[in-house]
Amino acid sequence: MNNIWSANVQGVMTLYLSRRLRFDDCFFPQYGKSFGLDRSKDLKILEIGCGPGALAEALHRWYPRSHITAIDKDSTFVAFAKKNIEGVTFLEGDATHLGFEDDFFDVVISNTVQEHIEPQAFWGEQRRVLKPGGVCLCLSSRKGLQCTCHCLEITAEEKDFWESASQSDSVLERLGVGKYRLSEAELPAIMELYGFTDVSTGYAIIDLTPDAPKYSAQMAEAMIDALRQNDLEAIRSMRSPNSQSAVDAVNLKYDNRLCLYRSGIKQWDTTVSITMIVRGIKNIRE
């Protein structure tokens, strides 16, 4: 069983809840324009590095005639996705050694995966399993912005916990997290370098502001809960026996944030994420 990523980098609920928001149907017009896929076609789509499955789940909604296969090396992510998401085939798999035949898929897609994998293996394997004329989509997070309201500022209990918790500075480096990150100019250039044609770029701007009237109460509260889960999983990942006071403090402040929201007392805290979408085609002559 491989749970290196979910145990050391991002927990399953942190990743699932945050991505489910970012791939909500209200944002599909932004993604769909850059994806350039025909929703009426029966496409074979492969997601590489699917995590707990939020993007694959969205793809199943957005392209209901297509068959979606999604792979990840992390057993915890794949088990969660299989249990909670219908209509998608989830498998454990390695992006550098895809267990599929040549020229098999119409579309390959990845989200925040490229920056962690050696380029030759990452791009080469996707080109291999794509049909000639097939579409490669690479989604990459760019620098966004976050504004925290006063009631969600870090508490004294959290400060004490993080000051006392033992942390390893080498974990992310050892796992190669972000080792191959590329700039906005380098990413499309390297896709061309590894043999894709008709390369284009686009951006999805995802505004998560609970108090914005355009969002339903259900989605607004989901935004608050996603932040809560992120803070809780970060604390619990330290496996410290002294974490309970910090956990209690986190729950208390997010309970207060929900109470303010439900009372109509606006805080205007926001998280705005920017996703770069790079699209390329496998040469039809290959």
Distance of CA 162 to the CA centre of its chain: 25
pTM beyond 0.75: yes
Residue 251's nearest CA partner among 229, 268, 267, 234 is: 229
pLDDT of residue 164: 85
Contact 20, 85 (CB under 8 A): no
> 43: helix, coil or strand?
coil
Q: What is the DSSP letter of 97?
A: B
Sheet holding 130-147, edge to edge: 88-92, 67-72, 44-48, 105-111, 130-147, 270-282, 196-208
Q: Which tens digits make up the pLDDT trace of 18-67? A: 999 999 999 999 999 999 999 999 999 999 999 999 999 999 999 999 99
Give bridge partners of residue 141 from the DSSP assignment. Answer: 275
- Contacts of residue 54, Cβ cutoff 8 Å, sequence gap at least 6: 15, 16, 19, 20, 22, 23
Q: Which regions of the chain are under pLDDT 50?
A: none
Question: Across all residues in the chain, what is the average pLDDT?
Answer: 94
Contacts of 49 (CB under 8 A, 6+ apart): 71, 72, 73, 95, 110, 111, 112, 113, 116
Q: Residues 43, 49, 50, 56: what is their CA dihedral angle, to the nearest 10 degrees?
A: -20
> What is the structure's pLDDT at 171?
67
Show me where the domains of the chain are located: 4-282
pLDDT of residue 82: 98
| Topology classification of domain 4-282 | Rossmann fold (3.40.50)
Residue 279 pLDDT: 98
